Amino acid sequence: MNYKEIFDQRGQLYNDAHQFAPRARHMESDAMLRWLEPVGGETILVVAAGGGFDAVCLEQDVMPDAVSILCVEPSTMFSDFIPDRFTVYNSPLEEIPLQDESVDVVLNLAALHHIEARDCVFDEWARLLKPGGRIVIGDVAAGSDNAAFLNEAVNAYTPGGHDGSFIESGYLTKEFHMRGFIDCKEALESYQWTFESEDEMVTFSRLIFGMVNAQPLQVADAIRRYLNPQISVKTGEASYDWSLHFFKAYKS
Ligand SMILES: C[S@@+](CC[C@H](N)C(=O)[O-])C[C@H]1O[C@@H](n2cnc3c(N)ncnc32)[C@H](O)[C@@H]1O
């Protein structure tokens, strides 16, 4: 299966997960917003927008009318869930139908580890940014427990497998420095994905990662092995550890 076939298949499940537990990734959204610092009047391009998670988080942070949010998503099975009020381009990430220097911000969250043609994709993002514009990328760090969970447990239980190429520290600084970006900054952000119950945690995880070949007990076991779950005896609320390596830089 190529990536488009895999993501066409996973898109529905991925979006079902967010509808089922819309607050599960709220700490990730907070981390993204801290890195992005959106400001009124900006045009923000969300690349690999999925079903609209990033776009909706952004509009909740800034007054909806104050920013223009454009979404690029290659898979229509994902983008069918992006609310109609956003402009959506179903194009490859390396060939986005927008003018040179037309956006203030490029955001790419939780997608880079799937992308092989990174040179073309990075060149395209640099082309689209205005001088002084910024790029923010957040993705799974190489060597992290999350990386092992994805390439081992998710790989075993997902029809298309999972073979992510995760982000080494310093890699994005090197790539964007080469492309003339300045003030490059990167750091690991660690937080939890949170759930109202253990059942919600297992169901969300099975859906978002497309682990359809696993029984709920196998998903729970994989979470225990890799993600340090915490279940409150008092409230029944559940969470597990997640992290993303974030990067930010400005086009000179
Ligand atoms: C895990 S989802 C992330 C979606 C969204 N940013 C979020 O955080 O919910 C991964 C995204 O990357 C896209 N994607 C995966 N592999 C890709 C590739 N090789 N080229 C372009 N996009 C890809 C998928 O279509 C999907 O939108």
Distance, CA 235 to ligand 1 centroid (Å)? Answer: 34
pLDDT at residue number 223 = 98
The C-alpha atoms of residue 123 and residue 161 are separated, in whole angstroms, by 29
Residue 45 lies in a domain: yes
Whether residue 71 has its Cβ less than 6 Å from ligand 1: no
Whether residue 75 has its Cβ less than 6 Å from ligand 1: yes
Residue 103 lies in a domain: yes
Query: Domain of 82?
Result: 3-143+160-191+242-251
Burial class (CB in 10 A: 0-12, 13-18, 19+), 97: exposed
Give the CATH number of the domain where residue 26 resides: 3.40.50.150
Per-block mean pLDDT, blocks of 10 residues, the chain (252 long):
71 94 97 93 95 93 77 93 95 96 98 94 98 98 98 96 96 97 98 98 97 98 98 98 98 97
Query: Residues, the chain, total?
Result: 252
pLDDT at residue number 2 = 67
pLDDT at residue number 60 = 84
Whether residue 52 has its Cβ less than 6 Å from ligand 1: no
What atom in ligand 1 is closest to the CA of residue 109? 6
Whether residue 96 has its Cβ less than 6 Å from ligand 1: no
pTM of the entire structure?
0.96
Residue 150 lies in a domain: no
Say if residues 23 and 191 touch (Cβ distance below 8 Å).
no
Residue 227 lies in a domain: no
Whether residue 242 has its Cβ less than 6 Å from ligand 1: no
Residue 61 lies in a domain: yes
Whether residue 28 has its Cβ less than 6 Å from ligand 1: no
What atom in ligand 1 is closest to the CA of residue 75? 25
The C-alpha atoms of residue 234 and residue 223 are separated, in whole angstroms, by 21
Task: Read off the tokens for 230.
Answer: 């915490």
Residue 221 lies in a domain: no
pLDDT at residue number 247 = 98
Residue 148 lies in a domain: no
Residue 155 lies in a domain: no
Q: How many CA atoms lie within 13 A of 163 on its CB side?
A: 8
Q: Count helices and strands (H / E) in the chain.
A: 10, 8
pLDDT at residue number 8 = 72
| Number of domains the chain is built from | 1
**Protein residue whose Cα sits closest to atom 22 of ligand 1:** 48
Mutate-to-test residue for ligand 1 from 26, 75, 94, 208, highest number of ligand atoms within 8 A of CB: 75
